Structure 1
Amino acid sequence: MGPIHDRAQRIAIMGELAGGILHEFNNILTVVSGTIDILALAAAERPQLAAVVRLIDEAAIRGSRLTSYFQTFERGQPPRYREVDVGSLLSDVERLLRPTLEGRTEITCSVAAALPNAAADPGLLLVAILSVAVAVHRAMPHGGSIALGARVVAGEEADDEHIAIMLDAMSHGNVDNFSKRIFDGLDMAETWVEQSGAHLRIVRQTGHDASFELHLAKASIDPEPLAER
């Protein structure tokens, strides 16, 4: 058995364990969250300790949110569209990507101010964005940069505004078959993008850079028509 087979086995084992790991991690977060109020009362008159308690609380909330997203994805449930804070979701994506990109690809994130919520399945959208970013990262053997962003864009009709999540990638130097390298890794990502309620658009592609946009309906609009375009 070669290294490729061994790696495939490890991935398969981790896939089988993922559900249990997420469940146990959620249990740990529940214990942490349950003690926050007690710690807050104990630190009420000690500002330095109160600041630490707030950091723990914020980390627990973020961890609980991510666990919920991944548990929904892992269970393979039908898409459930709801209001999604795109800024918070992209912040989670940025944090998750930093260790994944192995320090070879720089990751930045910038979101327009007062961005309205989107209508999407947050778990599928999170995994979709991660998958597109990882596909781009793998297509840049010499490293590069990925910039995430989000803004409101006008639709084809009046009052048809929607939200665009941008992913701009720049490779360090030209890469042979750069576009093909990216698209070879996008098969599952495209499926998750569509199921999340988004529509993937290729804005630009050259031998050293590429730009993608995921268009989402605003939370007050039914996302189904957008997902089917």
Structure 2
Amino acid sequence: MKPVIAVICDTTQSGPHIYHQVGDKYVQALRKCSDVTPVLVPALSESPVAVAEIMAFADGMLFTGGYSNIERHHYGAAPAPEGEHQDPARDMNTLSALPAILKAGIPMLGICRGLQELNVALGGTLYPRLHDIEGRIDHREDKKAPIEVQYGPAHAVTVTKGGLLHKIVGDDVFMVNTVHGQGINKLADTLKIEALADDTTIEAVSVKDAKAFALAVQWHPEWRAWENPQSVKIFNAFGDAARAYNLSKTN
């Protein structure tokens, strides 16, 4: 039986109805490159699925990207301007799940919003508008461009030598896409930098002294992951960690 990866959903409203959803690209990357079974967990604001319930069946957790931003009060910032897309239900579920699964030694991979959630959950802060910070490039996609352009190579990242990401991909520098408006400001004390963009934006982190695989990246390796050598290696490593965790439960 394949390892099970729990994926907490986003919530979105269509007409009068609330939907729980995860982008197909994440599910496809997990199946094709991690060789695992993804299980979607609804982000319930009332009677949420308890972290203990998730840990009872999950061999790993993926924290995906998303169109919403983390509510700013979670990292001590002033409220967002009216109209900013936020997802309080997802925040409630992911920010409570992260410390618990790290403590339990369950493998985790964070992508884009998932990296930001990891940093905030462990006490770090964010830049609500990274492109407003002097010296930073605009990391947002051109939404008028074709999707292949939006998720195409945009800038290089320099990998921390000897770190977890370096051991996984084996590259000192490689190109990534960039589809985000926020980024890490103050790094949580229990995180360490795994990669930086040329403008000093933190592009990947790992958890210090983690009991299991614990990596998060700011770009989107799930986009056609099977066509990108670094993405394949990241999802392979995550799948291997989930298999090892599953085996440890059996033994």
Q: Shorter-normalised TM-score: what interval?
A: under 0.3
> TM-score scaled by structure 1?
0.28
> Which has the greater radius of gyration?
1
Higher relative contact order (CA 8 A, sep 6+): 2
TM-score, length-scaled by structure 2:
0.26
More helix by share: 1
